Each structure stands twice: as structure tokens, then as C-alpha cells.
Amino acid sequence: FMLFFRFLYSDEVQIGPETVMTTLYTAKKYAVPALEAHCVDFLTKHLRADNAFMLLTQARLFDEPQLASLCLDTIDKSTMDAISAEGFTDIDIDTLCAVLERDTLSIRESRLFGAVVRWAEAECQRQQLPVTFGNKQKVLGRALSLIRFPLMTIEEFAAG
């Protein structure tokens, strides 16, 4: 809150990685668009493949379509790095589906499927379900139908 009040009274702000999300939340809650813009600008400047999924989730949560679009572009260009990042398995199902619906990802479908299976395993654990084929299918829901299995070679399909 100190950052927030400092900004309100002095129009100065020093945002850091540890404070940007709470500052953005507070700026949105109290309708301070200039502070929101500072936060979004900070996030945009620090957007990388390894944090793109985490930032995409936040952009969707905070209704920041411009930031979400930049995150999706980053994920398109560096899909393998993005899905290999720690935050990938933490995204929500709607964010997962939003990415799977894209036809601009730069990754083989079999690798994407492997990442989706990793996400499903993490989701089973979050929901305290045994990590079984049936439960993975259940937590994936419509996301499973967004995998383009026909794009896989017969060998890739058989292996997965």
C-alpha cells in the first residue's frame, strides 16, 4: 500500500517484481489508471518466454487485453521455452484452452501434447485426485479436444 499512497501523493512510483502484482491489483481496485499503466508497462518490459504463461494468467485475471496479446505473441514465438517454464503447469484451464486454440504456436503437436499431459498431472494433484488416465482426461475436459492429433506422425501418436 505504501507504493500506492506514494504514487497518489507524489506521482512517483518504483515498481519491482515483488510488488507489481499487488500494486496492479490495488490500482485496479481503487481505479487509478495512471498507476495501472505503470504496472502494465513494467510487466511488458519484463515479459520473457519463461514468465509468459504466468503473466498471461495475470493479464486475463486483471482484464489487460494488450498485455495478454503480448504474452500470447511471446508464447507463439518461443513455445518450447514457455511450456518448459515452471509456471506453465500452474495456469488455469481457460488460459490453457486459450493457448491451445491458437494455430500460431511454434512447436510440434506431440511436444505440446506432452506439456498438456504434464499440466493435467499437476491439476490432478491440485484437485487431490489420483493421477490416472481417467482423471487426467477429466481435468483436461475440452482442452483435450484442442490437441490436433492428426498433425502428429504415426510414430509420435503411438509413442504418446
Instruction: Provide, rounded to the nearest whole percent, the portion of the chain with pLDDT above 90.
Output: 62
3-state helix, strand, coil in the chain (%, to 5): 75, 0, 25
Cα 84 → chain centroid: 12
Q: Dihedral, CA atoms, 32, 34, 40, 45, nearest 10 degrees?
A: -150
- For residue 11, what pLDDT is reported? 56
Strands (E) across the chain are located at: none
- For the purposes of burial, counting CB atoms within 10 Å of the CB of 83, is it exposed (0-12), middle (13-18) or buried (19 or more)? buried
pLDDT in tens, 38-96: 889 999 999 999 999 999 998 998 899 999 999 999 999 999 999 999 899 999 999 99
pLDDT for residue 12 is more than 60: no
Q: Shortest CA distance to 67 belongs to which of 46, 100, 48, 40? A: 40
Q: Which residue has the higher pLDDT, 28 or 10?
A: 28
